[in-house]
Structure 1
Amino acid sequence: MDYTMKESVAGSFDETVDTTIAALESEGFGVLCDIDVQATFERKLDEEFRQYRILGACNPGLAHDGLSEEIELGALLPCNVVVYETDDGTVVVSAVDPQRLVGMADNAALESIAAEVTDRFERVLATVTDDLGAPSAA
């Protein structure tokens, strides 16, 4: 079952994080939290892990609309966008599929909000890919 939307890019990891945050901001999302999973695992578990960042993205207007329709929706917010490095060094940007996420609420009033978030996330992914390019084929 697919529950994310994702693109591989040619940029460096840090460049991809910065470009993703800028693209989110251009679509009206703020990053409420930025979790550096690699650093957390190193600090808390003394374990090595690939570069991996979780960006908790929120568009206040859309969040307000969603919470007005379904007060429990807050348990599914913010929408996470992940930037990670694969085993072969490719950098991937992955966003939660808002329609799958909101589908768990089983509230038809949320469908248009989920569609709007999906459209914005698709534009974010397209912007990141346009700005950094796709990885070259090996």
Structure 2
Amino acid sequence: MKIIILIYLGLISVFVSANTGEQLYKNNCLQCHGSKQQGGIGLPLKLAVIKNLSNNYIKRTILLGRPNRIMPKFYFNNQQIQSIIKYLRQGTKEPIYKKNIKGNSKLGKIVYKNKCAKCHADDLSGGQGSGVIQVVKKDKKVVPPAIGNQGFLQSATKEMIYHIITNGIDGSDMKSAKKMSMSEEDVRNVAEYVSNYKEKKVAENFSEEYTLEFDSAYNFKETIENLEGSIVGHNFRLYKKRYLLQDLGEVNTKQVMLRFCNFLVLYKLLKIEPRLGVLLPCRVYVIEQDDGSVKVLVKNYRKYIALFNNKQLFERTKELLDQFEEIIEDALL
């Protein structure tokens, strides 16, 4: 039962069963990267991008994801991965990279700060946000990726980085080295610096888990009533409760989902990041175990919101998330 619950909560590790590249993409990638690979909450995967990427880079990106970012890791087998790569390539060939790229990392750091940091940040953490930019009056089409993320660095080779800097990406904000007035030596040095970069781990003051689990000292009915009273008492609108797998045609009266929302606050947050809606409304899951004990499961919203990589959003949601945690605490006291 626990496995079913965790999958329903939408955790970051993903299992799949389809085999064709198109179907695998539709089932697992489309919601973030778009029906036409145009991007969304995830980066665009149009041919202009794919033609610069090696098959091995795509494979490792699928398997490793991007730690602490929106992109999860997927548990595909090799055949499924090759099917996705074939689907994304649309008949085009894998790029051929220049070999034996050697540069000076120290000089590359200087060039990077002058030519690249404006978009990718001094610490290579990329732009603020994720994927295609939704908010109007922005000077970029796509949030510059975090090239210092270990998921990227463990997937990209120095040769691939050199290739992309040299050629840029057609139709994007990533200009070629020539347009950025970078010499061939500059490109080699930056590729050396980026490929050897060590990401600095920032300590988070919240749990790393995507799902938080609490034990209730009350019985199943009392726990639900306590949560409902606490939700309303904190000025959230409470929706009609639902059974956990009701939308899948299964009804287990010992697995209940409570949904609630504070529209005044959330309207302001959605103006900062419209895609926050994928997490709404807030939910609490109440589960009665076979032995009669009661568990309360909630998404770790602090962890999920951090994935949007938006400092303004994270700061604005602190008060709301504090209230959310008070709801749980008050109900289970």
Pair in the same fold by TM > 0.5: yes
Unaligned runs of 5+ in 2: 1-207
Alpha-carbon displacement from aligned partner over 1:35-90 (angstroms, at most 9, x marks no partner): 1137x38x935xx7471111122111221121011111112211211111123321
- Greater strand percent: which structure? 1
Tell me the distance in 2 between the aligned counterparts of 1:37 and 1:77.
16
Corresponding position: 1:2 with 2:205: no
State which of 300, 307, 317 in structure 2 corresponds to 1:114.
317
Tell me the distance in 2 between the aligned counterparts of 1:112 and 1:95.
21
The residue aligned with 2:249 is 44
Instruction: Report the CA distance between 1:20 and its aligned residue.
Output: 0.2
Paired residues, what number?
126
Point out which structure has higher relative CO (alpha carbons under 8 A, 6+ apart): 1
Instruction: Report the CA distance between 1:113 and its aligned residue.
Output: 3.1
User: Residues 113 and 33 (structure 1 numbering): CA distance in 2 closer, same or farther, change over 3 Å?
Assistant: farther
Question: Over the residues paired in the alignment, what is the CA RMSD in angstroms?
Answer: 2.3
Sequence identity, in percent?
Answer: 25
Alpha-carbon displacement from aligned partner over 1:92-136 (angstroms, at most 9, x marks no partner): 222222211212222111112332232112211221122xxxxxx
Q: Output the amino acid matched with 1:14.
A: K
State which of 70, 75, 95 in structure 1 corresponds to 2:273.
70
Q: Output the amino acid matched with 1:75.
A: V
Q: Where in structure 2 are the equivalents of 1:97-136 lying within 5 Å? A: 97-130=300-333
Runs of 4+, deviation exceeding 4 Å: none
State which of 3, 10, 14 in structure 1 corresponds to 2:221.
14
- Greater helix percent: which structure? 1
Corresponding position: 1:88 with 2:279: no
Q: Output the amino acid matched with 1:59.
A: N
User: Residues 33 and 96 (structure 1 numbering): CA distance in 2 closer, same or farther, change over 3 Å?
Assistant: farther
Tell me the distance in 1 between the aligned counterparts of 2:212 and 2:322.
11
Q: Output the amino acid matched with 1:116.
A: E
Kindly indicate whether the alpha-carbon contact (under 8 Å) linking 2:211 and 2:300 is maintained by their aligned counterparts in 1.
yes
